[in-house]
């Protein structure tokens, strides 16, 4: 019995009925997939207590092998989360599709974003043994998007809903062959809105047009992600990749420094530092398409940085990264100074260097 086909394509009101019928006709399957609710959502259906109950993956759960209805996606640039790697998927309800209007994506009720965070045992062998730490679900329910964090067990056989989050010690070998230990923080359910915040409403970060208007390798071959969704009947309004904005991967050192820096700031900072974000009153707007030097922080005195500014006066001093507030805050893990405030317990050394190089190149 394909769980995703049974209840994801149906109206949420009918879910319980379907599960009851399944219990009568296929008791051995229903016993495995019976929901264990830790708390009720606004719909009275989600979340399930175990990740496996959703039926997103086939085979061994930790292989993260998606069923046909679950589609991989990948933003052009990735938000830094203590060097964790990520595998992302999206589920569209059967018969429903997203719409693209004025370069904004609107997703139907029942859409689920599935984001898996993991560490390879050895970053020099990323396809080798790994440890999945958490899976975050964003479910578009009747009253809007809701976040649910699932923490994986030591045996990597299941992930359990933990609305209070958690702290997990993770060890791995980095790209330089050095052993590393990180106290990885899984945010609690309420903290998710700190970053996933658009006009005080919880909203996705990585599934924006500019992040997805690029190619990804699918089972059927390489294709533009938005074009692929359109071909599957899951998206309307896409007019071709040249008709919509597109971002680059900031890690690609062959691309222009200015473009890389803006891509980094957009994916890591703009969910707060934008006109619709919780840091809108700062006047510091770090979106990929920002062209106003003042709004980028050039020779700008911060509105209310407090101790976060250190001994510096301006967000960005052209040509002087070591006298600029932005890299100073990026280079700290101290509460009250560190930016972003959540989502990391370590400094992204490569990211800090990228922004420093960008500032030092300003005239």
Nearest to 181 by CA among 119, 260, 110: 119
Q: What is the pLDDT of residue 190?
A: 67
CA atoms within 13 A on the CB side of 144: 10
Q: What is the pLDDT of residue 205?
A: 86
Q: What is the pLDDT of residue 276?
A: 80
Q: What is the pLDDT of residue 45?
A: 61
> What does the alpha-carbon distance between residue 232 and residue 18 come to, in Å, rounded to a whole number?
26
Q: What is the pLDDT of residue 189?
A: 64
Q: What is the pLDDT of residue 53?
A: 96
DSSP assignment of 220-238, as one string? TEEEEHHHHHHHTTSEE--
> What does the alpha-carbon distance between residue 195 and residue 239 come to, in Å, rounded to a whole number?
30
> What does the alpha-carbon distance between residue 310 and residue 313 come to, in Å, rounded to a whole number?
8
Q: Domains of the chain: which residue ranges?
A: 36-243, 257-360
Q: What is the pLDDT of residue 46?
A: 67
Burial 300-333 (b: 16+ CB within 10 A, else e): bebeebeebbeebebbbbeeebebbbbbbbbbbe
Tens of each residue's pLDDT in the chain, 363 residues: 444 443 443 333 233 323 323 333 333 332 333 333 333 344 446 689 999 999 999 999 999 999 999 999 999 999 999 999 999 999 999 999 999 999 999 999 999 999 999 999 999 999 999 999 999 999 999 889 999 999 999 999 999 999 888 899 999 999 999 999 999 999 876 655 455 555 457 788 889 999 999 999 999 999 999 999 999 999 999 999 999 999 999 999 999 999 999 999 999 999 889 888 888 888 899 999 999 999 999 999 988 666 788 889 999 999 999 999 999 999 999 988 998 877 788 999 999 999 999 999 998
Q: What is the pLDDT of residue 22?
A: 35
The encoded tokens of residue 224 equal 């533009």
Mapped onto helix, strand or coil, the DSSP state of residue 195 is helix
Q: What is the pLDDT of residue 207?
A: 93
CA atoms within 13 A on the CB side of 179: 1
> What does the alpha-carbon distance between residue 49 and residue 34 come to, in Å, rounded to a whole number?
10
Mapped onto helix, strand or coil, the DSSP state of residue 145 is strand
Burial 215-234 (b: 16+ CB within 10 A, else e): ebeeeeeeebbbebbbeeeb
pTM comes to 0.84
The number of beta carbons lying within 10 Å of the beta carbon of residue 153 is 11
Backbone angles phi, psi at 351, to 5 degrees: -70, -45
Q: What is the pLDDT of residue 309?
A: 84
């Amino acid at each position: 019995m394909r769980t995703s086909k049974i209840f994801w394509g149906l109206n949420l009101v009918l879910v319980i009925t379907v599960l009851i019928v399944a219990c009568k006709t296929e008791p051995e399957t229903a016993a495995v997939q019976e929901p264990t609710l830790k708390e009720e959502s606004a719909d009275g259906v989600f979340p399930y207590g175990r990740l496996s109950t959703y039926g997103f993956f086939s085979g061994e759960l930790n292989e993260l092998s998606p069923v046909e209805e679950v589609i991989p996606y990948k933003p052009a640039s990735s938000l830094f989360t203590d060097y964790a790697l990520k595998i992302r998927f999206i589920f569209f309800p059967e018969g429903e599709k997203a719409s693209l209007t004025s370069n904004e994506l609107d997703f139907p009720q029942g859409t689920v974003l599935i984001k898996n965070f993991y560490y390879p045992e050895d970053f020099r062998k990323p396809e080798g043994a790994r440890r999945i730490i958490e899976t975050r679900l964003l479910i578009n329910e009747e009253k809007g998007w809701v976040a649910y964090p699932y923490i994986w067990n030591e045996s990597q056989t299941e992930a359990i809903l933990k609305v209070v989050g958690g702290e997990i010690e993770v060890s791995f070998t980095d790209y330089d062959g050095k052993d590393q230990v990180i106290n990885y923080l899984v945010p609690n359910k309420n903290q998710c809105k700190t970053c996933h915040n658009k006009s005080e409403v919880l909203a996705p970060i990585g599934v924006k047009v500019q992040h997805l208007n690029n190619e990804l390798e699918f089972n059927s071959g390489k294709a533009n992600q938005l074009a692929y969704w359109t071909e599957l009947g899951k998206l309307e309004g896409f007019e071709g990749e040249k008709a919509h904005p597109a971002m680059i991967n900031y890690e690609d050192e062959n691309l222009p420094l200015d473009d890389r820096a803006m891509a980094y700031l957009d994916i890591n900072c703009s969910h707060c530092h934008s006109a619709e974000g919780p840091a809108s009153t700062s006047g510091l707007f770090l979106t990929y398409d920002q062209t106003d030097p003042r709004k980028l922080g050039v020779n700008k005195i911060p509105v209310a940085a407090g101790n976060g500014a250190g001994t510096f006066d301006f967000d960005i001093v052209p040509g002087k990264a070591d006298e600029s507030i932005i890299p100073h805050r990026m280079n700290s893990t101290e509460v009250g100074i560190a930016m972003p405030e959540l989502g990391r317990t370590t400094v992204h050394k490569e990211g800090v260097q990228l922004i420093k190089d960008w500032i030092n190149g300003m005239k």
